[in-house]
Chains A and B, each alone.
Chain A
């Protein structure tokens, strides 16, 4: 009885708090991590999304503080993970870099966002 009540309470509480979130591809995490400082220049960047994304319409760019493109323009979805976008980078001198991503989830919704990371100290 107590157990059932506990379950009922948990369910009632859950109505006001958590529920699974779905349907739009948002950035889950990235490497280099969002807002992080990496000591050495990375050769590429990987972005993991919360949903599978459409290779034909998903892309990302990386720019330096002056607004110049520093990526290799080869954004592509990882062969082994339909939710991971990879992008090669030119050799990066120390500085702050901005990643802009624009992806379409497989249910056709478009999302985009921006974050930055630092190279060197």
Chain B
């Protein structure tokens, strides 16, 4: 099924790109360059035939694509979708069907234009321009069948526009290569005026290619950001690696284009013009082949989940921690990175043009950039593992922490200690002291690093739990360890707003006034104040906060008050803000409150659940509503670390 969709998508992209490419070649390249020459009439017929073949392939592959999509969406076999009416449903009741109905109309109009031009047997004229417009629309409408169509808002618009430009530029360049090869073939036969015509067309085509390459680069970078927007997704997923292969093919095409422009085209005026023409024609065919390879990769990419939605397998034994770089080192690194790109571009151009000295200089520059650019990065390199950038498969929430606490007690506490300080009863007999799991250093490692160690062990001392615990259980114990360490870090915080996102409170569900709510839904609006108390509800404090409700709402600060001692829940008779929750959640939240705090602990969380400010009844006292409102405005400005993609839902 997937192989069918891949093949059909590749064919459809190629056919539509070819239609637009032929149209653009006729109107923008051949017509102005060849006006009235003998080559023109011959070429016009050939291009018209190429357009008809492309149109036929576009229709067949378009139908096949719709059938394949209908089969995929309905879960039926490819043979069954016509009989069951799934194709009809897909055509009449889905967004891609709407797109396909519009495209069918374009195909009919385009066929009329081609027939009209065939009869007249010459280039351009108004009908050719109309044909070009129709084929451009046919190609552009493919953007709505791509990943960009699903986005919304500004991001969706940017992605869609980038997709559109990428398609059109690819059509103009890739689709123009076959017409160029046809022209060069025709020019070889007609040697007198042919050579002048070939030279004129090639120059014009180079210009079109340069513009297309610029557009392809810019729009390609935007699309890469949206679909594989970080380094792990780019080098650690199949999607990202195919994208890199596509970029490599693109660079190969670019090198050949540079050879054509810088080395072959100037020779058209010289004595070996025929040899140059033959090589140019051969190069156009090689470029077409590379272009087909790119389209095949596009066909595959469309059926793969984008890199951001799959777990990246990190291929390197180290990673760069950008936040560990000094400002100077970062500047150095950026300078050398830019230098590397410039030297690379110079090297390609020098190679294409056959300039020996600039080529040597560019190579030396590349070596210098790698050698000296690596040095400032060295201190920021830390060990990494294949799972380093994995997102937890279980969400970071109270039930995972609760489950993790039980698993920890059974499997980890003997060495790491019940409190996680690395001083369990079995620790004394070990050659290496077990890690202290409540130090802030824990957060220098990604959850994926911890997953690797829990799964495969650490050094020769810690065993791996790969075959012992399920992946979900391993993530749960990691969530518990991180929540406990977060609680320890939070207990060291005070009434000054922390600029560091260091202690994230796990998500949890609660009930307020008979309505189900979760911390993540409260935080979606901005910061929140968690009031945690023990056996006795702080009625006076809650009434004070209740009286200041309007002021706090104006500052965007919802208040959630929770008795972490489960027994106190029943005793509270509906004071403001107090919510009901399960014993599991109460147990998790008690990680963030010490009995020594006095009556209550108040935590102001940023929108990602990180504790930013902490007040306790015993130490320093609680904040006035005015202070809370002022701090909420400060905390609202922190974006904090983005939550993991796998952080919510099922």
Contacts and interface: CB of A to CB of B under 8 A. Distances in A.
Contacts of B309: 21, 23-24, 26
Given A33-B509, A110-B73, 9 more contacts: A17-B230, A20-B308, A27-B650, A28-B649, A36-B516, A52-B152, A55-B93, A108-B69, A114-B650
A8 B399 CA distance: 39
A31 B152 CA distance: 23
B151 A34 contact: no
A83 to B, nearest CB: 9
19 contacts: A13-B323, A16-B232, A16-B320, A16-B322, A17-B642, A18-B641, A20-B155, A20-B225, A22-B306, A23-B147, A23-B227, A23-B306, A29-B649, A38-B516, A39-B514, A54-B93, A108-B72, A113-B649, A115-B650
A33 B507 CA distance: 12
The 5 closest A-B pairs by CB, nearest first: A19-B229, A115-B650, A18-B642, A27-B649, A23-B147
Nearest to A19: B229
Given A106-B94, A106-B95, A22 B147 contact: yes
A20 B521 CA distance: 19
Contact-residue size bin, chain B (C-beta under 8 Å from the other chain)? 35 or more
Contact of B227 (A22, A106, A108): A22
B149 A21 contact: no
B305 interface: yes
B518 A33 contact: yes
Contacts of B232: 16
Contacts of B290: none
Contacts of A26: 309, 649
A34 B231 CA distance: 31
Contact of B150 (A19, A29, A51, A113): A51
A13 B521 CA distance: 27
Given A23-B151, A54-B94, A110-B73, A34 B650 contact: yes
B241 interface: no
Interface string B311-325: 000000001101101
Given A17-B641, A107-B150, A32 B516 contact: yes
Contact-residue size bin, chain A (C-beta under 8 Å from the other chain)? 35 or more
Contacts of B511: 39
Contact of B399 (A30, A35, A109): A35
A96 interface: no
Interface stretch (B327-335, B448-456, B491-499, B620-628): B327-335
Given A107-B146, A108-B73, A12 B322 contact: yes
A115 B397 CA distance: 15
Interface string B578-611: 0000100000000000000000000000000000
Contact of B330 (A12, A27, A30, A115): A12
Interface in B631-650: 641-642, 645, 648-650
Interface string A79-115: 0000000000000000000000000111111100111
Interface in B321-367: 322-323, 325, 327, 330-331, 334
B305 A24 contact: yes
A56 B93 contact: yes
Nearest to A35: B399
B502 to A, nearest CB: 16
Contacts of B411: none
Interface string B284-322: 000000000000000000000110110000000001101
B331 A23 contact: no
Given A21-B309, A107-B145, A13 B229 contact: no
Contacts of A14: 230
A29 B157 CA distance: 25
Nearest to A121: B582
A2 to B, nearest CB: 8
Contacts of B543: none
A61 to B, nearest CB: 14
A15 to B, nearest CB: 5
Contact of A28 (B152, B306, B648): B648
A36 B509 contact: yes
A115 to B, nearest CB: 4
A64 interface: no
B84 interface: no
A113 B393 CA distance: 13
Contacts of B509: 33, 35-37
B224 to A, nearest CB: 10
Contacts of B147: 22-23, 107
